[in-house]
Amino acid sequence: MRRILLLLLLAGLAPGVSAGKVYKWTDADGKVHYSNTPPASGTQAREVQLHIPSFGGDAEVSTVGGAGRGVTIYTTATCGYCKKAIAYLRKRSVPFTEYDVEKSAPGKLDYKRLNGRGVPIILVGNQRMDGFNETRLEAMLKKAGY
């Protein structure tokens, strides 16, 4: 059971874990440990970089509170769907702001505030798309006047 939990954690599929820090260390008996807090002082640990998953399948579109403006996309460097969404926006000459949720402090904060569980997250005004679907993004842009 512990191994299954560990595998889910490392795969970035455990809710709320993908945006935090995870530490790995080996104890005196050779047993490997993982935790979201570093071990007691004197034990050497390294921070493990977790993978934030890309959305697969159909993109989900919803409405977000507040009067959003412009187009914002939350990405990671390794996300293929993110690259496709950015290429699509550039092809259409739609101005947008991009935040890498692994490298940008404001991006990390927004991702957490948005309860992000994968990338891309695309905001168009008060509309939100989790994942990428060209037809649905086209409809969102049209509704927002792009």
Residue where the block lists tokens 């890309």? 54
Neighbours of 55 (CB within 10 A): 20
pLDDT at residue number 12? 44
CATH number for the segment(s) 60-143: 3.40.30.10
Q: Which of 81, 136, 87 is nearest to 144 (CA)?
A: 136
Question: 39: cis peptide before it, omega within 30°?
Answer: no
Find the helix or strand (DSSP H, E) in which 94 lies. Answer: none
| 13 has pLDDT over 50 | no
Length of the chain: 146
Tokens of 45: 């640990």
Q: What is the largest CA-CA distance in the chain?
A: 63
Cα 30 to the center of its chain, rounded Å: 33
Say whether 146 sits in a helix, a strand or coil.
coil
Q: What pLDDT, in 10s, does the model give residues 46-84?
A: 776 656 666 666 777 767 766 568 999 999 999 999 999
More confident residue, 29 or 145: 145
Cα dihedral sign, 124-128-131-132: negative
Averaged confidence pLDDT in the chain: 80
Give ranges for CATH 3.40.30.10 in the chain. 60-143
pLDDT at residue number 14? 39
